[in-house]
Chains A and B, each alone.
Chain A
Amino acid sequence: MQRPDLKQALGRLLGPAGDEVGCDECFEQLDRYVELEVAGADADAALPGLRAHLDGCPACREEHDSLRALVSGEQAL
């Protein structure tokens, strides 16, 4: 039986399987990506490679999650 912690560790080691953007491209596109997400649009189709990067880069993922939370909270007001 395979262990979830091993799967997670191997996932971190091997990263995303598909093509991805780098950290700078991620930062450059993050505002548009988040607004598309919050609007319910297909952000992944509009900005291919960004989701894969977020899966592989914890720092960019954290910043994405914060921006999304901030923008979502504003729109909920």
Chain B
Amino acid sequence: MPAAPGRPHPRPAIVGSGLVKSVTHRSAAAAEPVSGHPPVDQESRAWLQELRSSGAGRDAAVERLHALLLRAARFEVARRRPTLPHLRGNELHDIAFEAADDALMSVLAHLDDFRGASRFTTWAYKFALLEAAVKLRKRAWQGREVPLEPETWSLFSSAALEPGAEAEQSELLTAVQHGIAEALTTHQQRVLVALALNGVPIDVLADRLGTSRGALYKTLHDARRKLRAHLAAEGFDIETWLQEAR
């Protein structure tokens, strides 16, 4: 599916980078069933037919679609509300409405991408949930500095130096720090540290760095692969270590 207008992570060129590509893109034939899937269900067909019509019928369908998307956006807002105590009710209301508006534009722009792999409503919901989630993440980080440096290294360092900490654990943590410093590019270091250590949401970092979620995740993926390779070259069986830590 091509990138939706205003969508926070337009499709990047990630094939061949170690991220697998499991979807074959098709031409925009209308609601052609995907092979191996059930045919497009009757309700979904009715949605498509009405949204592709004209006049009052289409207007009514668009209105119903907006109501559906608003319900999904409000659902997302309600799920996240406990983590956003600083936001007032009217702000959350506005965010849900904006998310529904943006999702409506995306859904209408991508009707031809709906292949019937799910019900139309499930397909449409994900646009509203994405829009609401991204807006809420950005709102939560509005005005906050995005930490790109490894300010949480101290956690690792103190943990490594804890009395009783096993030598192997300390060696592993040292190897991780060396791997980040030596095996990764500066950009990969900053992205890995911000996303994986400092907990910066990927949409927020993408916004600050002027890139997309997809492109940023590719950077993260490549950094992780390099770090894993570095640790393997240093003789660490990281999967076994992680499993033993459970």
Contact = CB atoms under 8 A, between A and B. Distances in A.
Interface residues of B, number: 62
Given A22-B218, A24-B214, A2 B244 contact: yes
B197 A71 contact: no
B129 A34 contact: no
B190 interface: no
Nearest to A32: B117
B187 to A, nearest CB: 16
A7 B242 contact: yes
A44 to B, nearest CB: 12
Contacts of B172: 10
Nearest to B168: A2
B23 interface: yes
Interface residues of A, number: 46
Contact of B245 (A3, A12, A35, A56): A3
B224 interface: yes
A23 B203 CA distance: 11
A28 B1 contact: yes
A59 B202 contact: yes
A2 B172 CA distance: 11
Contact of A35 (B122, B176, B217, B227): B122
Given A10-B242, A13-B176, A25-B21, A20 B122 contact: no
A14 B227 contact: yes
B96 interface: no
Interface of A: 1-7, 9-15, 17, 19-25, 27-32, 34-35, 47-50, 56-59, 62-63, 66-67, 69-71, 74
